[in-house]
Amino acid sequence: MTGALLRAIRYERIQVYEDLGQHRKACSELEKLYAEVSDYEDMAARLELLAVESTERRHFP
């Protein structure tokens, strides 16, 4: 598989984690992907949003 295809698959997996409500896992995976390719898709905005959502869930279950 090419690097681009693997990034796309990882990005889609992050979306699945979000859809399942697994925001911490999505945030963790997004941070890893962002560290590799910070300009891929809308990662900076999604990472910020996930960080906020994860924090809110810890304080307000």
- Output the pLDDT for position 5: 94
pLDDT in tens, 13-60: 999 999 999 988 998 999 999 888 878 778 788 888 877 776 666 555
Q: What is the pLDDT of residue 48?
A: 82
How confident is the model at residue 58, as a pLDDT? 57
Rounded Cα distance between 15 and 33, Å, is 13
pLDDT at 61 over 70: no
Number of domain units in the chain: 1
Q: Which domain holds residue 49?
A: 3-59
The answer to whether 34 and 10 are in contact (CB under 8 A) is no
The whole-angstrom separation of Cα 46 and Cα 30 is 8
**DSSP-derived secondary structure letter, 61:** -
